[in-house]
Structures are given as structure tokens and as C-alpha cells.
Structure 1
């Protein structure tokens, strides 16, 4: 098949670390089919300049600049997205002869992709990830657009059962909604020696519990909640330390609050890291902490467990579907006291790291790609059949 992928969740020269899960999935799918990935780059990000280069073997990679009036209501972003795409790449798309489109992210990407698919006369499949339904679909003017896009798609792929249920609630026939958990690269993410990992990362002086956060530093990911909970834990465990791996708008607020709480020396903001460097961070940590406010199924949770590292996270989205009791502790959203208690208890617990890693091995990219491949082929066949009937 010849497949066009439309998404904002993929590495670009302006954000080389973005969408690592999609990069892994699309690279593997590209070994089976001709895959072109066309990534939307926000015009404001484009103006900030390149931060690296992106090369993914076997994929056709391109981007277009998503332009919109900054103060315009977000309900019109899908129209702006499609217009940006057609003005910059329309002629090439019409001549390419794609069999189907895979849109990865519901709004504005999938809404615009649905309109494009109708212009090109080909089927499309939508993949939903988390806040594209958990947040975007709660807005009164965006929800109808998202619902119409999902209902018109040949199939909807959800990364958790919780998201699949939300797609059905938007009117999608349940028979066309598929739950497909992301995979883990078992060769890269595997248990290893903790002391050696800490030495490689310059953490060899860590003698107490080492807590790790990996992700965007933004409030909805719970990074500020974690800091407050850690302060409570740290009062009872003077050797405990917390490391944030990632960048984002909350970086300054985190450091200011750490100073105010008197724990600045015990909190490290390591910055964003390449995906290939993450295994050592997971191996070095005693716990991965992710108190998100909403989620699909975050790949960092799967990858941490693949390294044998237990998880403390909020009971939101698809997280309860993938974190069993023997692999971590889950707490209610917004309950910082419960989070502090879970961190304290989990850091003192004797975990079966081999059992945690064995559980995570059930999330393989091979099984993921087999299922996604079958869904896309079925969509392409349905599209070919419809063309014959016309």
C-alpha cells in the first residue's frame, strides 16, 4: 500500500524529540508499506529556528507550516490546517496516488484529514492518543467536528480502552473502534544494573530513593503536583531526590517553588533527552512518577516497566489498564496527600523488578504493527471497493 500519514506528533527539525512513539511505530510500518509522513509545524515554532535534523530510514518525511490567526477561535483551526496543507502541498498530494490516510491526533489533524480524504476520494483512519479526546472534545465548537470526523472514518484506533469508549460516545460504531496499545522496544528498554546506570548519568552520589519524571513540563502533566508531594516525602527521607527529564513552560515555576520549599538542592531539572538515552534514566530510578491530569497510555510508563522500574501515577485515562498492582501504585487525580503517601510507601517497598519487566514485554511493537497493518489494509480494500461501485 501507499499510505499518507498526517499528524503534528512526529519529529521535525524544529522539535526533533517530538512524538517518539509515532516515530517508532511509523518506522516499523514503513518496512511493510510505502509510507509518507507529513507533519504539521505550528508557524510560531517554525519562526524559532531549527534545533536539529530528522532522518527516519524507509519513510518519506516532509512537513508543512500550519498557519492561523493567533487570536482566532480554535474552532476554526481545522479549516486553517487544511488550507495551509493544500496551499503548500496540494498538487503533490493529488498526484501521489495514496491508498489511504492515517491521521494521528483528532483535532485539528483528523478533522482536516477527513476533508482531504473526501477531496482525494480515498478512505482514512484516525488514531487518537489522549487529550485530543479527553480535552479537545469537551469544547462545544470542537466536539461536533471531532465527532463527525471519527464517524466518517473507516476505522478509529485508540491507544486505550478508555479512549475507545469516548470515541463510541461520540457516535462511532463500536465495531469500527480498535484498542491498540503502543509498543515497547524490548531490545532498548530492558532491566540493567542500577549503579552502573547512575554512574553513567552522574548520579552515583544518590544514596536514597531516586524519583524520576519523564515528559513535558506542563501543569496538565502533574509536574507541579509531584513537586509538592515530593516535598512531603523529602521531609521524612532526607536522602530522597527527584529528577525531571523534559522541557516545558513549567520549568521556571518548578525551580522557584523548589527554592521556596527549601528542596532546591534535591531537585534536578535535567532537560529534554533523546529517546535512546531514556533506558539509563529508568534503570537509575527507584520509581517513575507521572501524576498526569489526563492521558491515553503514556509510553514512558510502558518503557519504565520494561526496565523493571515501578510506577506511581494517577488513576486517569488508560494508565489503570496497563499498570497492575505488582508494577506500581495509582492515586486519585489532584490528591497530593495521596500522591505523597504513595511515593513514600512505594520507595520503601520491595518490588519484583523481573515480574514488572515481564509484564511490560506484553506490549510489543510487532503485535502493534500487525494489528495496525490489518486495519489499514481493510480500510484500503473498502476504499477500492467503493471506487469500483462508483
Structure 2
């Protein structure tokens, strides 16, 4: 009889972001579904605070009364409210005598933890220690979790990419070296304002510069900054991009740029690499574990001049971009493919029983 696994997290269809993408890939993996009886349960969906509150409450109630017949509960969890909402799911599953895997996402998890009162910090530690396994997205995160929380149950699984979905972007002939793409939520944490300021510098040297910013978040504020600097011809705010739109944008650009101040292991970077794009990013989170000299350019977060210099280098050195493109496709194939991620996950499922 197959092991029954319930994957719990944001709705893959009604939520945005990397966590929903990871869950969708698990849900659609034929090998995992052949080996295990695997179901996905949406505990959260995007919306205003009232919608989120009601949806989360009724999702938990329905879970509590109808989802007791699984062997493993694979719970995806981020910081802030996500941690405390998922705490109810963990407590219920452990009360039923079941195995629990906590899969930690969220770029600012340690900042969230350190901002909590001492009593709530203790509750977070108790929650993490109660799980049979905690999954960290990188070696750096595992070390932080082990040191800060005293964990002995933490393992590393990097995010993985379905390369087949992005293959057409690798072979695109419509891209331009002067086109840059930023994917994900726009705001200060993602370095979105820095990117606009860097574009102002680059535009003086690269006359056909194009910076495409595809994401939700502080879109109106970013647009106002673009207009204030008269950069409408160079920088475009596109709003959130679904996958078909994202694929078309990746075909058009040569470089994915993510000048973040906090990150874990961003799906945007891995997707860009899988699409054969160069990467410009920062020395934060697990990014330095992935981006080396042969894969792109890393700068210190907040260094606008360095960001501009990296963008100019990408705009002018086509030979370097071609070399990076080949390296990035190979690196994803060898280290960060969805198949590799799911093989590691399969081993964890088998080990916790």
C-alpha cells in the first residue's frame, strides 16, 4: 500500500510566489505520484486581509475534520502569519500520531524570528523541533537554523526547476543584450528602487536600454519614481506575470536582475538560469552558493553604482553572455533541476516513516 502524503501550503493556482510554484511542481511530478499517494491541500490564497483570514480559518477547520488519514504531512511554511497558521496544522498532525515535514520558505525568516517577543520565539523553536524533519533551502539556512534553534532534524533541499517548461527561452533568437528582466514582488527588499536608479545611470551609456519589472507589490510607487526620473522609455512596470507571460519575457531578455537585500534561494534566479540567461544579484541568502563568476555578477546590496556597472557589462559583452548562458543551463541540469529536488524529497519521505 502506498504511503499517503498531504502537501499543505498556498494554493498553486490562487497564490503568487516561489512557494506556490514549488508545490505545483510537486503536485505534477509523475514519479512522486507513482511512488506515493500524494494530495495537495491549499491552506492559503492571496487576497485582502479579510479574505485571507476567512479562507485560512475555514481551510483549517475543513482540514481538521476531513484530512486525518495521511501518513506524512508535508507543510510549506514562511515567516510571520504563515508560521503561526501552520503551527495549528503541525499540532493537529502530531496529535493524530502522524509524521510532519516542515519546508521553510521566506527570505526574512531570521529577521521575523528575532523581532518576536521571547515567548513567541520559544513557540517557534518548539514548533520546529516537533517536526520529524525541517527542510532548509540552502546550506547557509541550515546552519542558521541549527545554530539559532538548536535543530537536529534539519536537511537541505534546494528549489528545483522544471527545465522542459523553459527550454524554448534557451533557444530564443529574439532576445537583446540590452534587455533586463526583474521577476517577483516589487519593493525595497527586492532592490526595485535601486534598479530604477541604476537604470538612470545605464541609460546614459546604453541608449536602447530596456528594464522590464514583472511583479506585484509596490508597483505604483515604482512607477512614480520612473516618471520622476523621466525613465518611461527605459523602464516598464508590467504587473504580475503568469507563466506564459514570464516565458515570453525570458525569451526577450538576456539578463535576469535581482538586487535583493534579503533572499533564500529565489526561484526567479533559478528560472533565469534554466532559460539560459545571465544573472545579476547580491551577496545575500543562498545566492552566493549558486551564482559564481561563471554564472553572472554579484554585488553588495544597495551598491547602485556596482549594479549599473554590471548592467553595462552585460549590455556590451556578448561573448561573456553566451558563455554564461551555457554555464547556467548546465548548472541547473546538474544541480538544481526539479528531478534532483524531487529525488531528495523522495528520500526524505521514505526516511521519516
Structure 1 residue 296 displacement after superposition? 1.1
Cα displacement string for residues 98-130 of structure 1 (whole angstroms, at most 9, x for unaligned residues): 101111114134423321222222120111123
Structure 1 counterpart of 2:64, from 90, 95, 107: 90
SS of 2:149's partner is coil
SS of 1:113's partner is helix
Structure 1 counterpart of 2:344, from 346, 349, 371: 371
Cα displacement string for residues 31-65 of structure 1 (whole angstroms, at most 9, x for unaligned residues): 432223222336953867xxxxxxxxxxxxxxxx6
SS of 1:211's partner is strand
Matches of 2:33 and 2:88, distance apart in 1: 23
Matches of 1:315 and 1:155, distance apart in 2: 28
Structure 1 residue 324 displacement after superposition? 1.6
Structure 1 residue 188 displacement after superposition? 1.9
Matches of 2:113 and 2:49, distance apart in 1: 27
Contact 2:108-2:263 at 8 Å conserved across structures: no
Structure 1 residue 375 displacement after superposition? 0.8
SS of 1:325's partner is coil
TM-score (norm 1): 0.79
Contact 1:11-1:17 at 8 Å conserved across structures: no
Matches of 2:248 and 2:13, distance apart in 1: 25
Structure 1 residue 321 displacement after superposition? 0.7
Q: Structure 2: which 5+ residue stretches go unaligned?
A: none
Matches of 1:85 and 1:121, distance apart in 2: 21
Q: 1:313 corresponds to which residue? A: 281
Structure 2 counterpart of 1:126, from 94, 102, 112: 102
Structure 1 counterpart of 2:41, from 31, 38, 41: 38
Structure 1 residue 289 displacement after superposition? 0.4
Structure 1 counterpart of 2:157, from 176, 180, 190: 180
Structure 1 residues 84 and 221: alpha-carbon distance in aligned structure 2, compared to 1, 3 A threshold: same
TM-score (norm 2): 0.86
Q: Structure 1: which 5+ residue stretches go unaligned?
A: 49-64, 69-80, 199-205, 382-390
SS of 2:164's partner is coil
Structure 1 residues 23 and 222: alpha-carbon distance in aligned structure 2, compared to 1, 3 A threshold: same
RMSD: 2.6
Cα displacement string for residues 182-209 of structure 1 (whole angstroms, at most 9, x for unaligned residues): 111122223534444x5xxxxxxx6x61
SS of 1:324's partner is coil
Does 1:358 find its partner at 2:330? yes
- Count residues in correspondence: 337
Contact 1:283-1:309 at 8 Å conserved across structures: no
